[in-house]
Structure 1
Amino acid sequence: MSNRTHYDYVIVGGGSAGSVLANRLSADPETSVLVLEAGRRDFVFDPFVHMPAALMYPSGNPLYDWRYQTDPEPHMGGRRVSHTRGKVLGGSSSINGMIFQRGNPGDYEKWAENEGMEHWDFAHCLPYFKRMETTRAGADAWRGGSGPLILERGPADSPLFQAFFEATQQAGYAPTDDVNGYRQEGFAKFDRNVNNGRRWSASRAYLWPIRGRRNLDITTLAFVTDLIWQGNRVTGVQYTRGRSSHTVTAGEVILCGGAFNTPQLLELAGVGDPEVLKKAGVTPRIDLPGVGENLQDHLEVYLQHASTQPVSMMPALEKWRAPFIGADWLFNRQGPAATNHFEAGGFIRTNDEVKYPNLMFHFLPLAVRYDGSGGGHDHGYQVHIGPMNSDVRGRLHITSSDPRQHPSILFNYLSTENDRREWVEVIRAARHILSQPAFDAFSGGEISPGPDVETDEEIIDWVARDAETALHPSCSAKMGVDDMAVVDPHSMKVHGTEGLRVVDASVFPSVTNGNIYAPVMMVAEKAADAIAGNTMLTPENPPVYRANAGMPLYPEGDPRNDAWNAKDGVPTALEAMAAQDFDGLARRGFANTGAGAEER
């Protein structure tokens, strides 16, 4: 721990965004940087951090997880939804599912539609995605090849993965080469943050290689409790480490605490809605009513089948095998422990009204919950599914001036008619794929939700009882220039302040349609140039697939375009689903049930 008490930049949070900023800002040897991380180090000998298949163990473990919970969700029977957040250097990138998905180019076009956000369109974001990547599958116009984030493509070569890919085509969905490339829509092997059998977290990629820089200090177990002010300028932070209190001053403070901790710290420091702050016993300083509002997430369920064939990964969960699997990983970096198992999936549109995919699939050759529970059958497989572009909005606010008390969190899951309609479409779409002939040799019947859940009312009731968060909280201190915006989209400065910036998932105007780790890293890469005063990377605009725009499924000139279009007797997926008789939706007033439903 350094004795220095002043830095050019103090970064609050050594998670995904904080790791990027620490690396890029300290690249200038004349710039001093301090990272304050409330969790502990990501020690090299910790298998729960570095073993990909161990991802289920940190969830709920107070050594790794801050263990946030929502307030009782009113549209989910009043139950609380647990949110795992990383309590270790690297943040949630050190304990997440290691799935790397950028979102759709349309997500960033939607960002850019907001006033003042024009330079957040896909063309401006793409070069920053590429700068951070080393894509083992190969760099091209859409993908990077020399960045710190090493991305392996999942092998997805087991019989169940092959059946899944075949079933998606039987259901009318064309495969894609890369969901992060020319066309997101479709099914493919997924990129993952795994390098030679080890998790490749933000810390491993951005912090480990530069720990020897003399102008960079990284302090863990440092819990920031307040900001130091001179008028409207932030000049430093106060934090505790063990039983000791510390003060450090800074030219600038950058909050990278994520969608929960960043708005919490802003409110504790008097930045937010004055009425909310007064109720919590905090003196208002900066009137920003958008702090803690616009909270968004993805909700998901597991649609599970038993397998009649012994081809799933379920035996790897048997406790007696753990020492042998662990030893194979420890000495050889191979075997069931060397994969995150989220090796493939895809994106589809569940209706013709959406411009780009609103449903994501993760396919697993297992039938268990995210925390490893819910077994009890010899073999099985499942898809993780949920709407990607929900119109549900929540909020997060402090209720006390005690920084160690978690804020009140409410996502309002299932609170809108459109969200509930899409959930019915989601379940229908997944069942449509898993019922294809490719699975006939394997399916032992649906385990969850089971045949008793069929009508739309039954589906919504099951989702309310069984759904979990996909762990993508975001948008709680959004960029923009409107009355509810918190962060300036050009400088990342908090409106109405000096010396204070925010860079993390909280600044998203809207959640992207996939796992949010990659977008967070892109935002941090782009913000690093803005903060350092560097010349911004030149926008890039290779063609990207847009549904219903007359574009080919594959890049222009690819012979697969003609081959797919020439398929006889294969309806499009939307046509195939629309042809099914979904009585539940029909009763709710939809003239054409299934994916192409239109309201009467």
Structure 2
Amino acid sequence: METFDYVIVGGGTAACVLANRLTESGKYSVLMLEAGGEPKSMWINIPAGFTKLLNDPIYNWRFETEPEDNVYGRKIAIPRGKGLGGSSLINGMIYVHGQPEDYDHWASLGAHGWSAKEVMPYFKKIETYMPGGAHRGKSGPMHIHHVSERFPIAEAVLQAAAQDGQKLTDDYNSVDQDGFGYYQVAQKGGQRWSAADGYLQPVRHRKNLTVRTGAQVTKVLLTQERCSGVAYLQQDGMHEVAASREVIMAAGAVQTPQILELSGIGDPSVLQKFGITCLHASPRVGENYIDHFATRMNWRVKNTQTLNELAQGWRVGVAALQYFLQRKGILTLGTGLVRGFVKTRPEIATPDVQYFFMHASYANAAIRKLDSAPGMTMGVSGIRPTSQGSIHIKSADPMVGPSIRPNFLANSTDQQSLIDGMRIARRIMGRDALKSYIDFEMSPGDSVQTDAQWLDFARNNGQTTYHPVATCRMGSDANAVVDVRLRFKGLSGLRVVDASVMPAMVSGNTQGPVMMIAEKGAEMILEDALAS
């Protein structure tokens, strides 16, 4: 059997960071196993190409939730990236640290060592953010820029926010997240800059790094109370590989618990249903699942051009020419142009709702088909949800995806935050700065006025914003799955380093926090190696 010091399960965002940092010294041999392939599609580099990739089974696992009463029996898409770079290949590129209070909350829940003061140096280590600032990095692997394109209607949204009494701010990734402005995105020279671009590709030549694609890990291998390696499937059949130091789970909040349960690690009652022998009881694997839930409010627009017209017909050719000649124009746009972080009630200390504005609207949001007439959208998301669900296997077959039950909007606080956020969005859009642009509100429409009507709209139309976390929660209490150094509790040689270890949701998009976890996790792994 082949043996490596470290075996990384997954090739996504966290895994790319780990592969880079664990091979830096040259002391340790590292194997990365990714079920997907190399990122070859032309649509990956083009920021607007996310609309093509979100429905592409080559680059997206295309998971779905189970039908739940909270959303009137709807199945909701849970996209997860597939291939080297993971979800950073197909996401909207939005880069958010979260609020310092998020990480202080983690520490208060028992994640000692993960307070804001203790994690901020790792955010600085991640990024090259050229405007700089005391809280920002200038020499990291990830290039972070403000959205470069400007449009009159976007400027009018910012003016309307100011008229509503909202702050206009430049850097929401500094100390204070509150306010409106333009999003920061992971791009370089008008192109997507994925975790594979920033962390993996520059070190692929290292002799102590082995990367295998098309390698789907089916289980981790246990020898008594130690994780000794993994089994994985490639085109030529099953393989096993040993890890002399550690197996590191970095398959994400959906697939990390799935692989653990297939390995006989988890809640015995769950495993028993599918004939899997429980080798190590860990009842909270797959529990505590949290995700951001969002609605999309739409308006019909007049007196300007929107992406609905600019991205169709002969204008697409013009946009393509502009992009390939100058790396500018509408093809540099991702999922968010103008952002907003607001407090829906004055007694709340920090923002609880996030806005995503685009001067576009969808005829079919599921397949990203744009309206033919001018439109704009304000996405509204409650950013500190506490409603918890679960992710568990629904088959002993590793090729069958897990059962995802988010339990969205179960908590009344989550409901009220979203309702109030939608009301504020409507109020902002009604300000004088936008009077000349807005024709009428398409969705939900003026007939929706009461809390019950707003909640009904959310249950009928809301979607996830693709930020699953917390299914292998870290902490110092008995119910935590991993300890604060991300070591799996009760097993040696196994660590989890991905979004599943978050003890609570962060206030915003999760790509940046996942990279932070991987940077800090890699440092812990190397410290423990030196101490052993």
Q: Provide TM-score, normalisation by structure 2.
A: 0.96
Q: Given that residues 225 and 239 in structure 1 are in contact (C-alpha distance below 8 angstroms), is that contact kept between their aligned partners in structure 2?
A: yes
Q: How much has 1:177 moved relative to structure 2?
A: 2.1
Out of 12, 20, 24, the residue aligned to residue 15 of structure 1 is: 12
Residue of structure 1 aligned with 2:273, choices 273, 279, 284 = 279
Q: Deviations over 1:217-253 (max 9, x none)?
A: 1111100011112111111111111142111111211
Structure 2 counterpart of 1:282, one-letter code: I
* SS of equivalent to 1:92: helix
1:159 equivalent in structure 2? 152
Once residues 478 and 67 of structure 1 are traced to their aligned partners in structure 2, the CA distance between those partners, rounded to angstroms, is: 24
Q: Structure 1: which amino acid aligns with 2:407?
A: N
Which deviations, in whole Å up to 9, do the C-alpha atoms of 1:173-223 show, x marking residues without a partner?
111221101210011221101111110000010011111111111111100
Does the Cα contact within 8 Å between 2:51 and 2:368 map onto a contact in 1? no
1:338-357 to 2 correspondence within 5 Å? 338-340=332-334, 342-357=336-351
> 502, 511, 529: which is aligned to 2:496?
502
The whole-number CA distance in structure 2 between the counterparts of 1:194 and 1:372 is 24
Which residue number in structure 1 is paired with residue 184 of structure 2?
191
Look up the match of 1:559.
none
- Deviation, structure 1 residue 10: 0.6
Looking at structure 2, the residues matched to 487 and 323 of structure 1 have their Cα atoms a distance apart, in angstroms, of: 51
Counterpart of 1:357 in structure 2: which amino acid?
Answer: P
Equivalents in 2 of 1:134, 1:208: separation in Å? Answer: 17
Q: Is the 8 A contact 2:391 2:403 kept in 1?
A: yes
Instruction: Say yes or no: does 1:228 pair with 2:221.
Output: yes
Assess if the C-alpha contact under 8 Å between 1:159 and 1:311 holds in 2: no
Q: Is the 8 A contact 1:156 1:189 kept in 2?
A: no
> The residue matched to 2:404 in structure 1 has which SS?
strand
Match of 2:42 in 1: 47
Query: What is the CA–CA distance in structure 2 between the aligned matches of 1:55 and 1:110, rounded to whole Å?
Result: 33
- Measured after TM superposition, the shift of residue 323 of structure 1 is 4.0
Cα distance in 1, alignment partners of residues 506 and 337 from structure 2: 20
Aligned to 2:390: 395
User: For 1:319-338, what per-residue CA distance to the aligned partner results, in whole angstroms no more than 9, with x for missing partners?
Assistant: 44434433433343222212
Output one character per residue of 1:250-289: Cα deviation in whole Å (capped at 9) or x when no partner.
1211000001100011111111111111112111111111
SS of the equivalent of 1:347 reads strand
1-side partners of 2:208 and 2:325: how far apart? 36
Shift of the alpha carbon at 1:377? Answer: 4.1
The one-letter amino acid of 1:41's match is E
Higher mean alpha-carbon deviation, 262-271 vs 339-348, is at: 339-348
2:440 corresponds in structure 1 to 445
Shift of 1:18: 0.2
**Cα offsets for 1:107-158 (capped at 9, x unmatched):** 001001022x23100000000000111002x222111100000001113521
Q: Which runs of 5+ in 2 are unaligned?
A: none
| Residue 527 of structure 1: aligned partner | 521
Identify the residue that residue 33 of structure 1 maps to in structure 2.
30
Q: For structure 1, which segment, 316-325 or 47-56, has the greater mean C-alpha deviation from structure 2 after superposition? A: 316-325
Alignment of 1:124 onto 2:118: yes
Aligned to 1:88: 83
One-letter identity of the residue aligned with 1:26: T
Question: After the TM superposition, which residues 356-371 of structure 1 pair with which residues of structure 2 at under 5 Å, given as runs?
Answer: 356-368=350-362, 371=366
2:240 alignment partner, one of 242, 247, 260:
247
1:466 aligns with 2:489: no
Tell me how far apart the structure 1 counterparts of residues 215 and 226 of structure 2 sit (CA, whole Å): 22
- 8 A Cα contact 2:380 2:418, kept in partner: no
Provide the TM-score with structure 1 as the length reference.
Answer: 0.85
Give yes or no for the alignment of 1:304 onto 2:301: no
1:144 pairs with 2:137: yes
Q: Which residue of structure 2 aligns with residue 218 of structure 1?
A: 211
Letter in 2 for 1:528: A
Conservation of the 8 A alpha-carbon contact between 2:103 and 2:116: yes
Higher mean alpha-carbon deviation, 493-502 vs 271-280, is at: 271-280
Instruction: Return closer, same or farther for 1:381/1:535 CA change in 2, 3 Å cut-off.
Output: farther
**2:440 & 2:463 partners in 1: Cα distance?**
23
Match of 2:425 among 409, 424, 430: 430
Deviates further, 285-294 or 349-358: 349-358
| Percent identical residues | 37
- Equivalent residue in structure 2 for 1:56, among 41, 44, 51: 51
- Farther off after superposition, 91-100 or 405-414: 405-414
Cα distance per residue 1:27-51 (max 9 Å; x no partner): 01121111100011012xx222111
Residue of 469, 472, 477 corresponding to 2:472: 477
Matching residue within 260, 270, 287 for 2:264 = 270
SS at match of 1:193: strand
Q: Assess, with a 3 A threshold, how the Cα gap between structure 1 residues 533 and 370 changes in structure 2: closer, same or farther.
A: farther
Distance change >3 Å, CA 56–CA 371, structure 1 → 2: farther
Q: How far does the alpha carbon of each residue in 1:422-441 deviate from its partner, in whole angstroms, 9 at most, with x for none?
A: 22211111111111111011
Task: In structure 1, give the amino acid aligned to 2:169.
Answer: T
Partners of 1:414 and 1:118 in 2: CA distance: 29
| Partner residue in 2 for 1:316 | 310
Unaligned runs of 5+ in 1: 537-600
Q: Per residue, is there more strand in 1 or in 2? A: 2
Asked whether the 8 Å contact 1:56–1:370 carries over to 2, the reply is no
Task: Choose the corresponding residue for 2:484, options 475, 478, 489.
Answer: 489
What letter matches 2:59 in structure 1? Y
Offset of residue 367 of structure 1 = 1.6
TM-aligned CA deviation for residue 61 of structure 1: 1.8
Q: Distance in 2 between matches of 1:272 and 1:483?
A: 14
Q: What per-residue deviation string (whole Å, max 9, x for no partner) do you get for residues 64-105 of structure 1?
A: 111111111111111111111111210000000000001111
Q: From the superposition, tell whether residues 320 and 73 of structure 1 become closer, same or farther in structure 2 (CA, over 3 Å).
A: farther
Give, in whole Å, the separation in 2 of the partners of 1:304 and 1:243. Answer: 50
The CA deviation at 1:447 is: 1.2
**Residues 1:370 and 1:49: Cα distance change in structure 2 (over 3 Å):** farther
1:109 and 2:104 aligned: yes
Q: Which has the larger radius of gyration?
A: 1
Residue of structure 1 equivalent to 2:449? 454
Task: Determine helix, strand or coil for the equivalent of 1:119.
Answer: coil
SS in 1 for 2:173: coil
Cα offsets for 1:476-508 (capped at 9, x unmatched):
100012232101112x11101011100000000
2:194 aligned partner: 201
State how far apart, in whole Å, the 1-side matches of 2:183 and 2:317 are.
Answer: 28
Number of the residue aligned with 1:336: 330
**SS at 1:120 equivalent:** coil
SS at match of 1:525: helix
